[in-house]
Amino acid sequence: MCGIAGYVGPDDALPVLLNALHRVEYRGYDSCGVAIHNGNAGSGSRRIEVAKAVGYVDDLRAATGPIPGGVGIGHTRWATVGSPSKLNAHPHLDCTGRVAVVHNGSVENHYQLREELRQRGHRFRSETDTEVLAHLLEEYGSTPEGVAEALARVQGPYAIAVLFEGSDSIIAARRGSPIIIGLGDGENMVGSDVPAVLERANGFIHLEDGDIATVSASGVEIRHRGEAVRRRVHHVRWGPEVVDKGGYEHFLLKEIHEQPRVLRDTLAGRISADGHVNLGLGLDRRTPPEELFLLGCGSAAHAAMVGEAFLAALSDTRVQALEASEMVRPKRRGPGAWSVLVSQSGETADTVDAARDARRAGHFTLALTNVPESSITRAAHAIHHLRAGQEVSVASTKTYLAQLVGLYLLGLELFPPSDRRRRQMAAALRRLPEAVQQALAMAPQLEMLGTRLAAAEHAFIIGKGINYPTALEGAWKFKEVAYLHAEGFASGELKHGPFALLDTDTPVIAIMPRDDTYERMLVAVEEIHARGAPIIALTDCDNAELQSIAQSVVCLPPTDPMFTPVVSTAALQLMVYYCGLARGCPIDRPRNLAKSVTVH
């Protein structure tokens, strides 16, 4: 959730760290800081110098003068324990100033440890749980064994990078939260994820839980339970340009426009000419699902709901979508119980926990994720990779559409429909990237509508059947990106309560493709019209009756009724983007949010 970076090499660490932190800023951006071993090896008077700022990495850059020294660590924070402030920003030092630590995770027993350390004379400056680690590490010393002993006292997940005064290396360790080592040429890096190490690394290593790595300019030594171990080296397949905006004003807009390509990648090689899907996961060798749970958080939970509607339409199997945090103590089940974990990052704490709990309860667990080497892929039996590429903007767009298509593919492999219908659906899936492209080409109309919505205080979004989750996802996006209070409703529910809020200043977006819910949606839209609320209809046909009651009609390209959430979501995303732009919102970094939430 927070971003970590570390550098050891011949160059000054500060500029490398600032660039690295900038690239992982989507993981947290309420404050940031660096700790640099000031001076060069052998210079005698080296000490750890710290610079911190509240706000963005650019604020830190502006406030910090040059600090010489080729060893340093840095952090960009999403506050958990302790408010966002300079004092609470990482790195944290112990009282001697000889140990600096950056941390991702949570020290669950920090009250107890703090009290113990206080009694032994340690003095604390911040409110954070992380500071406890600095004091603890100071007591146990700078060797990997000492670090392991100190960490054995800690409850809760962590990924840390530590700098000890006098040392020319960084120590990195993990349990439950990811951390990687980037391997360069005569220099090495540490990072919370790949973008942090992109500038200098051509390969990287994922540390395993319990690993303690000593990272120097010339090499990396990893110890696990006291033994030296080797970990697989992955090649960096992308350059720094992958995390650049590519000419767009915001990552969000870039990622929205990448969607046709992403859908092509997600579909590639997974669907045969006659419409048979094979995800290559050996699912046919498993006991077929008798009961199937679809679990995720945030947008991934909305994707799971679309998956539920789709899978339930294809089979009689009991399918249930749940927010992962609501999967409390799943019942013990036989091999016919499946849990599908939907998570872009593969790191969302509630989803990872749900994966572990479901597995423990005997479910077959399948992770649908964008990050093949993530906590969820360690927890689950099998991985269905989304192939959406790096998503930087906090609000998920391209990964959401990839999740939908990933779930469609899963449904078609598990419950293939009759020949004719299967071929029809396969053809529609193949045309989906083009349909999304056409929807995105409607940007001028969507911009006009989004800009007009910027003046509203509240908005409703309604949908039905497989597009009810689209309404929820659209409302979610308006809240996140445009700070507009929007609520998503099942169209039939409006008159049971929310109608009380409806007035002529409450725009209602109706998602109403011409499927078997259309007539019912039309009734709901007429009822709204009768109460004077302005209506924006997102449909796929030019329809005279709609033209007369809706203030605006957006005619989206048609697709199979099951796949309309993909097209209508793409249109909503653009509307949200322009609404957020008109409201002056920090599009890629909404306040208080983080890209992946690795704490409970």
CB of 352 to ligand G6P, least distance (A): 9
Query: Alpha carbon of 193 to those of 1, 341, 390: distances in Å?
Result: 10, 21, 11
CB of 330 to ligand G6P, least distance (A): 18
52 is catalytic: no
CA-wise closest residue to 432 among 320, 522, 564, 317: 564
Beta strands in 373-415 (DSSP E): 382-385
Q: Per the residue annotation, which of 254, 398, 477, 595 is the catalytic one?
A: 595
User: Which of 76, 351, 517, 559 contacts ligand G6P by CB under 6 A?
Assistant: 351
Choose which of 31, 76, 167, 344 interacts with ligand G6P (CB under 6 A). Answer: 344
Shortest distance (Å) from residue 386 CB to ligand G6P: 10
CA dihedral over 487, 491, 495, 496, signed as positive or negative: negative
Strands (DSSP E) along 284-363, which ranges? 291-296, 318-323, 337-343
What is the chain's percent helix, strand, coil content, to nearest 5?
Answer: 40, 20, 40
Size of the site for ligand G6P (CB under 6 A): 16
Is residue 337 a contact residue for ligand G6P (CB under 6 A)?
no
Does 27 bind ligand G6P (CB under 6 A)? Our answer is no
339 is a contact residue toward ligand G6P (CB under 6 A):
no
CA atoms within 13 Å, Cβ hemisphere of 91? 31
Residue with smallest beta-carbon separation from ligand G6P: 298
Q: How far is the CB of 334 from ligand G6P (least distance, A)?
A: 28
Residue (164 or 293) nearer to ligand G6P, CB: 293
**Applying CB under 6 A, which of residues 395, 407, 510, 574 lies at the interface with ligand G6P?**
395
* 506 touches ligand G6P (CB under 6 A): no
Contact letters for ligand G6P, residues 571-600 (x by CB under 6 A): ----------------------x-xxx---
- Cβ-Cβ contacts under 8 Å for 241 (sequence gap 6 or more): none
Q: Which of 80, 142, 192, 299 binds ligand G6P (CB under 6 A)?
A: 299
Spatial separation of the C-alpha atoms in residues 231 and 135, rounded to whole Å: 30
Tell me if 559 sits within 8 A of 432, measured CB to CB: yes
Is 595 a known active-site residue? yes
Kindly tell me which of 297 and 581 has the beta carbon lying closer to ligand G6P: 297
Site string for ligand G6P, 259-298 (x = CB under 6 A): --------------------------------------xx
Q: Does 375 bind ligand G6P (CB under 6 A)?
A: no
Helix (H, G, I), strand (E, B) or coil at 539: strand
- Token pair belonging to 250: 């915001």
- Measured from the CB atom, the residue of 80 and 596 that comes closer to ligand G6P is 596
Buried b (16+ CB within 10 A) or exposed e, 149-175: ebbebbebbbbbbbbbbebbbbbbbbb
CA–CA separation, 21 and 70 (whole Å): 16
Nearest by Cα to 178 from 589, 596, 594: 596
Q: Extract the tokens encoding 402.
A: 């990839």
Closest to ligand G6P by CB, 344 vs 506, is 344
Shortest distance (Å) from residue 348 CB to ligand G6P: 3
Tell me the closest approach of the beta carbon of residue 85 to ligand G6P, in angstroms: 23
- Which residues of this protein are in contact with ligand G6P, per CB under 6 A? 297-300, 343-345, 348, 351, 394-396, 593, 595-597
Residues serving a catalytic function are 2, 595
